[in-house]
Structure 1
Amino acid sequence: MICDLQTHKPLALLPDRRPETVTAWLQMNPFVQVVSRDGFTAFRQGITQADSSIRQIYDRFHFIRNAKKQLDTCAASIVPAKITWSDSTDAAEEIPLTRAEKQTRDRQKRKWELVQEIQEAFKRGKNLSRLAREYDLDWRTIQKYTKMKGPPNYQRQRARLTDPFNERMRKLEKEGNTVKEIYSALQIEGYTGTYSGVRTFVQSIRKDRKHNTSGEKVLSISRR
């Protein structure tokens, strides 16, 4: 349909959208100087073939829609998919323990109960040798237990190849990179460890965020 730009009244209803149809109508109506149209290529071709001096402009709807698409594309290239900010007023949610973590916790609890029992017996006057026989432990172990001030902590940490890159991985993950992309970036920067090491660390970051252990909120931005 062709309408007058000033009166908005229909002027013609063309039988199809082919460029030659548009050209024929414009040649029959040489008074047209400005055409407001959408981005359909056939319209542009038909108008140009009829008279290249006719000024062609986008209608407001398609102009705004195309501008929004360009802004979305630009935003997707510079804005991370997720933005985090601190919110110290929110209480952090406790992370559910894994099966292995629960087993470790239970072992530590039983060990501490044993230590307390040995300490009480030692205070009542039993010597190290007697306690060693009763509990079937080396006397040095008994001696160590009698001097303990708090529950044992068996979470032994050993250096990992990912350790020097922890902050870098946090930054890359925060920017929305995948594990594969992070791994590739670290290799360029000198990382010689395995892919699984990077994946494990990134998964721990996402687990912490999911359970809000750092007191941070996560805002997800759609890129569509």
Structure 2
Amino acid sequence: MAFKKQVSYGTILVNLETRQPIALLHDRKVETVSKWLLAHPEIKIITRDRSSSYVSAAAKGAHQAEQISDKWHLLDNLSAVIRSYLEGYKSDIRTVCENISANEHEKLKSTLLSQKIELPDTKYSALFKKVKELQKEGKLSQRTIAKELGINRDAVGRYFKLDAYPRNFSEPIDEKKYSSFIRKI
């Protein structure tokens, strides 16, 4: 976590089972992190980024814990490998794409769009449904819909462009959970 962009970094420790922050450390030095870890021998798994200081701190302060990469870095590494692999087939992919007729493209698109996606039952999926209903009616502008539903006009614009609720849509972070830690910063 950056306290001031490109100047100094701190460490936030989060219990991934409860998704609650448990400590804020003023830096990411091996000594600081390993000292904290030594005081908490109950830690069995450490999820971390690729920083060598965290690797060393975990090895020094929590030798009993298994170290694993965090989800973001795993996905980042995976996407880099896939991109690199596909780079070798760029001309083949381009040829296939150019040879797909407009009719085949429309068939594929309609097949994908016709697949029923179960919406998660959240306030955001409900808002998405409401925006799509109002869009279908065609009586209200995006600005009016945003005001009526109490949401950002840009969100309404994004929903207008979508045919279905995004599968990878992530809910916003509940800042109330972290407010006591944010105040400490």
Short-chain TM bin: 0.3 to 0.5
Q: Compare CA radii of gyration and give the structure with the larger one.
A: 1
| Larger relative contact order (CA 8 Å, sep ≥ 6) | 1
